[in-house]
């Protein structure tokens, strides 16, 4: 069921199908109301005028009385028709046969009358003034004056055009200059009118037009009523004729659900219906053109309101009247039968939520609720009574439906979809395209403004269905067309770096999932959507460890969870899951293979591993550093969001604050492009952009600031600029201390292999001895360093639970991570540590437990730990490169904290990882120190390509 709606929706998608289907439904429903009004007009005008309930009491009230009669009788007829349709479609079919018989008899009577005119033409006289047709309602004699025994007398026609009945009265100029004649309106076949028409090439389109004369005549009020027409517009007549010709050709498809073999009956019936109606209309137009005078074709005014075709028909005009009456009844009944089924089909598809209730009906499938709504809408049209202003829009609805049916066929053929296999062997897509073009042309030829209004209504319905989410997958042609367009566009996209003007972040977002396949950091997707002012590509990817055969179900679940979160965060993009035995290899696969053709990512976005010091984390610091290396090798930019859980959601708004950019290394301008993109989003819109650059003492800071301001001016970026000068001080003791701790840990890890429980106890005791060893060296320099002061191991023992466990066990012991790299060449050390560890290590520590454990085997334990510190490098033997890097990180962190501690977001250049993998852990420590104390940090590592330009 559904007819044309079903064809359009399954071929062009639910949006087009719903929009055109609802418009077609409204057109069919209001057409039913117009048919019923036509039935009543025939009844009260030609069959039984005395049956009128309301009568005109004064001249000029005839129209109002007729409209009131239409409202009363129309309501009764719509109720009767609704009852018939409700009883069952089989009764409608039986009545349709009766109505069809009456229509066929009427058509036969017309052709019989045409044949009769060859030997007995009817007496059908028409009065003309010049070449203008006159209405006979106001006079009886077609002459200016008559001759009688008493002399010459003026007629009623004279009095209509003159100011008095006397012969010397002042008359209309056109009336004086032209003669009054009387001709036969139906001259017949043998009258020779056919020869005259052929020789004249038809008749003038100005016949019967008196509008110009009406405007110029001094007696316009009195003369215009005498003419049969004071002008008509082509756009007013064409939609009416068109609607009568083509309205019912889709009636069969609207009732496709009631047909035994729809795919056989509909094509055959539709083609026969079109052929029959076309033949009849063309033949009638030919008869009227060649065997009738064009003069009576003026709404019956020239023949006292009589039916011209009724006068022509044989044996009686009543055949035409009865046939017209039942024809309009049958058309109204067909509209009430087809429209509810069309609405029921739309409602059952669920593409328009608020009409789903009309999808229900009786047990046999009859659309009861849809019938009630259709009858109600018909009643509205009947109460309006005069639908002349609505009729053109309804014609546009029908034309639009036919246009989209042709478009659906053409699209299916052009896409060469495998499921498009039309049975009609003479079909070609050019026929559908021609039909679509003709429908569109007729819409604008008839009335361009009504065509635009109809398209606007359909467009609003289309956008509503799209907004409400028509999640229907019918394999429609529009999606196939989109696939073809996407394929064509991808083939045209250059497989290489884009031009600087076209560069935008094409993001690959690396997510980390928990054991339930849920995203650990949802705000990473929030930040992604806030970055999408660049309108680039977004690929959200994650890695599941294991074999694909084992993880297939989990992969689908993870993909569904990620897509759902993308919908919540309004992140438009694609989701890609990879299953790999190794987490690091999975990330590498994503970086290498994500995207298609020229549409590949150029930027990787990931979260900083907060717990990177804990080896239990799958996304450990080793995976992180490897990811940095691989993005660099792939010449892709890298964005690392630190403290991602503190980043704002899409519902939050920053009413003030700054986005600070610390531009230390030129990265192609990406550091400046990112804040610009963020400030396009409503979350960051009110934040100001500040750019800091670092200069040494011997640099010209003033000139650097001017140059940077000029550069931003050419880039059309609004930002504050500040140059920060940094001094080349001596290396601070704190820097040496941090470096010493970092290198000493690495050296000790190579000589031991500890379990997790052993590390817990070992580092608590190790810190006590370690801090006592460096106390005397760093006491003088600690005054200027933000660090806690410890005077002795005893003072530490007093605060062991508050400071050691809460602070150093989290920050220091987490650095020991790689058990497999430990050496087995230190049995003495391992034995001493094993002696210090009790058989059952207490995982929950108190002050008393710590003191008792510290004094147990004190001599042997302490001496063993003192031997460990004999291995530590001296100050002079430290790696000076590490010292320099640590110094830079510490000093730069201090400057950034001083300027940007309260900034809403800080963007920093991200240094590259060391070439020697032995320094990877040191690299992580440098980055940690560099960003320490900042709430929200975005580390940016550019790809080395220019991404921002002064050109538009």
pLDDT in tens, 232-243: 444 455 555 555
What per-residue string of b and e applies to 512-545 under the rule 16 or more CB within 10 Å gives b?
bbeeebebebbbbbbbbbbbbbbebbbbbbbbbe
Interior angle at CA 358, CA 353 and CA 362, nearest 5? 145
Q: Tell me the CATH number of domain 4-117+239-467, given options 1.10.10.10, 2.40.110.10, 1.20.1740.10, 2.130.10.10.
A: 1.20.1740.10
In this structure, what DSSP letter does residue 200 have? Answer: H
Cα 6 to Cα 8: distance, rounded to the nearest angstrom? 6
Structure token pair of residue 183: 């001709």
Cα 75 to Cα 36, 69, 325, 825, 932, distances in angstroms:
9, 10, 17, 105, 81
Residues 6+ apart with CB under 8 A from 255: 1, 3, 89, 337, 338, 341
Residue 678: pLDDT band with limits 50, 70, 90: very high
The helices-and-strands tally (H runs, E runs) of the chain is 34, 15
Q: Give residue-wise pLDDT tens across range 868-917.
A: 334 334 444 456 666 667 777 788 888 889 999 999 999 998 888 888 88
Rounded to a whole number of angstroms, the CA Rg of the chain reads: 46
Q: Give residue-wise pLDDT tens across range 841-862.
A: 333 344 454 455 445 544 444 4
Work out the percent of the chain whose per-residue pLDDT is above 90: 26
Query: What is the pLDDT, as a whole number, of residue 657?
Result: 92
Residue 323: pLDDT band with limits 50, 70, 90: very high
- Mean pLDDT of all residues in 729-733: 43
- Mean pLDDT of all residues in 740-762: 51
Cα 927 to Cα 213, 733, 887, 931, 934, distances in angstroms:
93, 20, 12, 6, 12
Is the peptide bond prior to 315 cis by the omega test (within 30 degrees of 0)? Answer: yes
**pLDDT greater than 50 at residue 138:** yes
- Mean pLDDT of all residues in 161-170: 87
Q: 544 with 554: CB under 8 angstroms?
A: yes
Q: Give residue-wise pLDDT tens across range 415-447.
A: 877 778 888 888 889 999 999 999 999 999 888
CA end-to-end span of the chain = 54
- Mean pLDDT of all residues in 176-183: 88
Query: What is the pLDDT, as a whole number, of residue 321?
Result: 93
Residue 777: pLDDT band with limits 50, 70, 90: very low
Structure token pair of residue 925: 């420590």
Class of domain 500-687+904-941: alpha beta
- Mean pLDDT of all residues in 267-275: 84
- Mean pLDDT of all residues in 601-607: 93
**pLDDT greater than 90 at residue 373:** yes
Query: What is the pLDDT, as a whole number, of residue 783?
Result: 39
At residue 181, the 3 state secondary structure works out as strand
Cα 466 to Cα 483: distance, rounded to the nearest angstrom? 19
Of the listed ranges 102-106, 557-561, 877-881, the least confidently predicted one is 877-881
As a whole number, the mean pLDDT across the chain is 76
**pLDDT greater than 70 at residue 606:** yes
Q: Give residue-wise pLDDT tens across range 688-730.
A: 999 998 877 777 888 888 988 998 888 888 899 998 887 655 3
pTM: 0.60
Inter-axis angle of helices 317-349 and 4-12, nearest 10: 40
Inter-axis angle of helices 429-446 and 448-467, nearest 10: 120
| CB atoms near residue 789 (< 10 Å) | 11
Residue 301: pLDDT band with limits 50, 70, 90: low
| Domain coordinates in residue numbering, the chain | 4-117+239-467, 125-184+187-232, 500-687+904-941, 733-887
**pLDDT greater than 70 at residue 21:** yes
| CB atoms near residue 198 (< 10 Å) | 10
**pLDDT greater than 50 at residue 779:** no
Same fold, 4-117+239-467 and 500-687+904-941: no
User: In degrees rounded to 5, what are phi and psi of residue 232?
Assistant: -145, 150
**pLDDT greater than 90 at residue 813:** no
| CB atoms near residue 751 (< 10 Å) | 15
- Mean pLDDT of all residues in 494-516: 81
Question: 639 versus 292: which is more confidently predicted?
Answer: 639
């Amino acid at each position: 069921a559904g007819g044309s709606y079903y064809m359009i929706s399954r071929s062009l998608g639910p949006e087009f199908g719903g929009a055109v289907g609802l418009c077609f439904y409204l057109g069919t429903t209001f057409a039913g109301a117009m048919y019923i009004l036509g039935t009543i007009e025939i009844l009260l005008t030609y069959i039984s005028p005395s049956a009128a309930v309301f009568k005109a009491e004064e001249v000029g009230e005839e129209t109002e009385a007729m409209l009131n009669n239409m409202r009363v009788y129309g309501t009764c007829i719509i109720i009767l028709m609704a009852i018939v349709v409700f009883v069952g479609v089989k009764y409608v079919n039986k009545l349709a046969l009766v109505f069809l018989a009456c229509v066929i008899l009427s058509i036969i009577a017309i052709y019989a009358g045409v044949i009769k005119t060859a030997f007995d033409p009817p007496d059908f006289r028409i009065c003309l003034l010049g070449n203008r047709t006159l209405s006979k309602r106001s006079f009886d004699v077609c002459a200016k004056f008559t001759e009688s025994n008493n002399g010459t007398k003026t007629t009623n026609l004279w009095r209509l055009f003159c100011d008095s009945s006397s012969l010397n009265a002042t008359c209309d100029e056109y009336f004086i200059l032209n003669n009054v004649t009387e001709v036969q309106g139906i001259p017949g076949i043998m009258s020779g009118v056919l020869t005259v028409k052929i020789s004249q090439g038809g008749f003038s389109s100005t016949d019967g037009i008196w509008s110009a004369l009406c405007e110029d005549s001094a007696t316009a009020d009195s003369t215009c009523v005498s003419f049969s027409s004071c002008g008509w517009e082509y756009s007013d007549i064409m939609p009416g004729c068109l609607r009568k010709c083509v309205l019912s050709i889709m009636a069969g498809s609207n009732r496709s659900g009631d047909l035994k073999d729809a795919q056989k009956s509909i094509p055959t019936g539709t083609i026969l219906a079109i052929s029959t109606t076309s033949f009849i209309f063309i033949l009638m137009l030919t008869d009227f053109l060649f065997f009738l005078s064009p003069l009576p074709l003026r709404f019956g005014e020239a023949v006292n309101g009589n039916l011209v075709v009724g006068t022509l028909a044989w044996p009686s005009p009543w055949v035409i009247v009865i046939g017209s009456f039942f024809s309009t009844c049958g058309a109204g009944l067909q509209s009430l039968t087809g429209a509810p089924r069309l609405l029921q089909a739309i409602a059952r598809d669920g593409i328009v939520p608020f009409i789903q209730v009309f999808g229900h009906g009786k047990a046999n499938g009859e659309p009861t609720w849809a019938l009630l709504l259709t009858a109600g809408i018909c009643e509205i049209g009947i109460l309006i009574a005069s639908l002349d202003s609505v009729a053109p829009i309804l014609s546009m609805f029908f034309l639009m439906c036919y246009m989209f049916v042709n478009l659906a066929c053409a699209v299916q053929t052009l896409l060469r979809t495998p499921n498009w296999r039309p049975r009609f062997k003479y079909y070609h897509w050019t026929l559908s395209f021609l039909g679509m073009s003709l429908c569109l042309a007729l819409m604008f030829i008839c009335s361009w403004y009504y065509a635009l209004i109809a398209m606007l209504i359909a467009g609003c319905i289309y956008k509503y269905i799209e907004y409400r989410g028509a999640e229907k997958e019918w394999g429609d042609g529009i999606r196939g067309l989109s696939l073809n367009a996407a394929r064509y566009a991808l083939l045209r996209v250059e497989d290489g770096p884009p031009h600087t003007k076209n560069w935008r972040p094409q993001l690959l977002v690396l997510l980390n999932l928990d054991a339930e396949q849920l995203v650990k950091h949802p705000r990473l997707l929030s930040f992604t959507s806030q970055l999408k002012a660049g309108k680039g590509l977004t690929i959200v990817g994650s890695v599941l460890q294991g074999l694909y055969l084992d993880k297939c179900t989990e992969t689908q679940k993870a993909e569904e969870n990620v897509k759902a979160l993308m919908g919540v965060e309004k992140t438009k993009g694609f989701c890609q899951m990879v299953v790999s035995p190794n987490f690091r290899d999975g990330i590498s696969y994503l970086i290498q293979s994500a995207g298609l053709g020229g549409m590949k990512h150029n930027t990787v976005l990931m979260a900083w591993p907060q717990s990177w010091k804990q080896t239990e984390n799958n996304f450990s610091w080793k995976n992180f550093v490897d990811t940095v290396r691989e993005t660099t090798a792939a010449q892709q930019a890298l964005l690392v969001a630190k403290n991602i859980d503190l980043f704002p959601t899409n519902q939050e708004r920053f009413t003030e604050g700054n986005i600070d950019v610390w531009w230390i290394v030129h990265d192609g301008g990406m550091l400046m492009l990112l804040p610009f993109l963020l400030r396009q989003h409503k979350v960051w819109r009110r934040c100001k952009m500040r750019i800091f650059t670092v200069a040494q003492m011997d640099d010209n800071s003033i000139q650097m600031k001017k140059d940077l301001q000029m550069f931003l001016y050419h880039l059309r970026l609004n930002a504050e600029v500040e140059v920060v000068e940094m001094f080349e001080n001596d290396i601070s003791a704190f820097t040496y201390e941090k470096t010493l701790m970092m290198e000493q840990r690495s050296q000790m890890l190579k000589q031991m292999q500890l379990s997790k429980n052993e590390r817990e106890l070992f580092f608590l005791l190790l810190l006590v001895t370690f801090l006592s060893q460096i106390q005397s060296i760093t006491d003088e320099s600690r005054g200027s360093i933000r660090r806690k002061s410890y005077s002795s191991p005893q003072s530490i023992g007093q605060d062991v639970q508050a400071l050691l466990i809460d602070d150093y066990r989290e920050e220091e012991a987490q650095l020991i991570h790689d058990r497999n790299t430990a050496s087995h060449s230190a049995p003495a050390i391992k034995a001493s540590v094993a002696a210090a560890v009790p058989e059952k290590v207490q995982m929950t520590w108190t002050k008393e437990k710590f003191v008792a454990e510290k004094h147990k085997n004190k001599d042997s334990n302490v001496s063993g730990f003192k031997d460990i510190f004999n291995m530590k490098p001296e100050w002079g033997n430290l790696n000076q490169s590490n010292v320099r890097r640590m110094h830079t990180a510490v000093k730069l962190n201090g400057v950034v904290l001083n300027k940007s501690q309260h900034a809403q977001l800080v963007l920093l250049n991200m240094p590259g990882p060391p070439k020697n993998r032995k320094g990877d852990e040191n690299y992580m420590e440098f980055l940690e120190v560099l960003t320490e104390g900042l709430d929200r940090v975005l580390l940016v590592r550019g790809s080395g390509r220019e991404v921002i330009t002064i050109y538009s």
